[in-house]
Amino acid sequence: MKNFNSKIVCTYLYSITKYGYPPPAEDTLNYIEEMTSLGFTTIELEGIREEHLTKVYDLRYKIKNSLEEKQLTLPYFCVVLPGLSSSDEKERNKNIELFKKGCETAAIIESKGVLDNSPIPPYQFPDEIPVIRHYEEESLQSAFLPDNFNWESYYEMLVSTFQNLCDIAANYDLTYQLHPASGVLINSADSFLHFYNSVGRENLRFNFDTANLFAIKENLPLSLYKLKGHIDYIHFSDNCGNKVEHLEAGKGKINWDNFFSALKAIDFDGYFGLDIGGDESGVQNLDEAYINSANFLENKWFAK
């Protein structure tokens, strides 16, 4: 089997789709093996909340050795910590310490950046923040805001927190990628640019997720023009425009010719993370979907 271009990344959604959310962290080395067997030389891994992230952190040197033995690169390590935007100071501080572990892991495996879903509002749930990938209406119906919630003071705290997080990442020579998703605060080009200007840190970046942005009716080419200079990493999958889903390239309604024209116009030279699958997507043959989408990118972008 041929190896794909080194800027085409097999994302962690591949393992999530096969093994659940989050997939068992102790099997991380097996996930690396499976991604490699598809022809990828560049992959993505995640540490999801405290328990999962801690287990991946404990494996960090084994992961590094596995990457070196297989001659793989891992440009972006996902550190999924919804508690970073909590209105509770104790919870935030706990997650900031976990974020440091994520940055240390990323630095050891020679990543370029860390990535997380953008901050979620300080919703309170009857139990705790549900362990799900997208906070859609169904999962938010039971959520409520604190009685003493004040947007101005919350936003001031959020900006200060993310300035701190960007500085922590910068100490490890990492960018901090914010991923747009349903139910989060930074879910569009305009909301990112507003937040970027508030935070004022050069290493704050936007992880351009084609499917998630298309699902919320963003005009992808226009968003690319707006975000020129702020994008290093694209999460790449198709979408039909009616719901959150991550489909094989060409199986949805995204106009890829217009997308690639805009991408060329903004001089994009970063990575594409194939982000296909999840329970919401109904992908029948996952391996085939990743291989076909990698070939699609090879032909549409890297053959230019």
**Residue 207 is assigned to a structural domain of this protein:** yes
Checking 127-134 for CB contacts under 8 A at 24+ apart, the result is 129/82, 129/83, 131/21, 131/22, 131/48, 131/49, 132/21, 133/16, 133/21, 133/181, 133/278, 134/181, 134/182, 134/183, 134/244, 134/280
Q: pLDDT tens-digit profile of 135-163?
A: 666 667 777 888 889 999 999 999 999 99
Check residue 281 and give its pLDDT: 93
> Which CATH number does the domain housing residue 297 bear?
3.20.20.150
Percent of the chain at pLDDT exceeding 70: 95
Could you tell me the strand order of the sheet in which 271-274 lies? 8-10, 271-274, 233-236, 208-209
Check residue 287 and give its pLDDT: 98
Specify the number of domains making up the chain.
1
Helices (H), the chain: 13-19, 28-37, 49-58, 60-70, 89-108, 137-140, 151-171, 189-199, 210-215, 220-226, 256-265, 286-297
**Which of the two residues, 177 and 279, has the higher pLDDT score?**
177
**Residue 2 is assigned to a structural domain of this protein:** no
Mean pLDDT of 234-243: 96
Check residue 144 and give its pLDDT: 83
Q: How far apart are CA 256 and CA 11, in angstroms?
A: 20
**Residue 3 is assigned to a structural domain of this protein:** no
Task: For residue 18, give its domain range.
Answer: 8-302
Check residue 132 and give its pLDDT: 58
128: confidence class by pLDDT, cuts 50, 70, 90? low
**Residue 203 is assigned to a structural domain of this protein:** yes
Instruction: Tell me how long the chain is.
Output: 304
Is the predicted pLDDT of residue 131 greater than 60, yes or no? no
Check residue 136 and give its pLDDT: 64
**Which of the two residues, 182 and 10, has the higher pLDDT score?**
10
Which range has the worst mean pLDDT, 28-32, 50-54, 204-208, 300-304?
A: 300-304
Q: How far apart are CA 11 and CA 77, in angstroms?
A: 10
Q: pTM of the predicted model, to two decimals? A: 0.95
Percent of the chain at pLDDT exceeding 90: 87
Q: pLDDT tens-digit profile of 249-304?
A: 999 999 999 999 999 999 999 999 999 999 889 899 999 999 999 999 999 999 96
Which range has the worst mean pLDDT, 115-124, 138-147, 243-252?
A: 138-147
**Residue 291 is assigned to a structural domain of this protein:** yes
**Residue 52 is assigned to a structural domain of this protein:** yes
Checking 195-202 for CB contacts under 8 A at 24+ apart, the result is 195/118, 195/159, 195/162, 196/230, 198/155, 198/159, 199/159, 199/162, 199/163, 199/166, 200/163, 201/162, 201/163, 201/166, 201/167, 201/170, 201/176
Mean pLDDT of 158-178: 98
Q: How far apart are CA 31 and CA 45, in angstroms?
A: 9
**Residue 1 is assigned to a structural domain of this protein:** no
**Residue 260 is assigned to a structural domain of this protein:** yes
